[in-house]
Chains A and B, each alone.
Chain A
Amino acid sequence: MDKQLDLLQGTLDMLILKAVSLGPLHGYGVLLRIQQISKDRLEIQQGSLYPALYRLEYQGWITSEWGESENKRKAKYYRLTAAGKRRFQAEAEKWNRMADVIAGILGTKPEEV
Chain B
Amino acid sequence: MSENNGAVMTATHIRKSFGNVHALKDASLTMLPGEVTALIGDNGAGKSTLVRCVCGIHPPDAGQVVLKGSDVRFTNPEQAREAGIETVHQNLALVEDLTVWQNLFLTREQTRGFGPVQFMNRRSMAKRATEMVSTLAINVPSVKSRVRRLSGGQRQAVAIARAAGWGSSIVIMDEPTAALGVQETARVEELIHDLKANGISILLISHNFDQVLRLSDAVTVMRSGRTVATRRVSATHGDELVGLVTGAVPADPEFQ
Do chains A and B interact in one complex? no
| Interface of A toward B, CB cutoff 8 Å | none
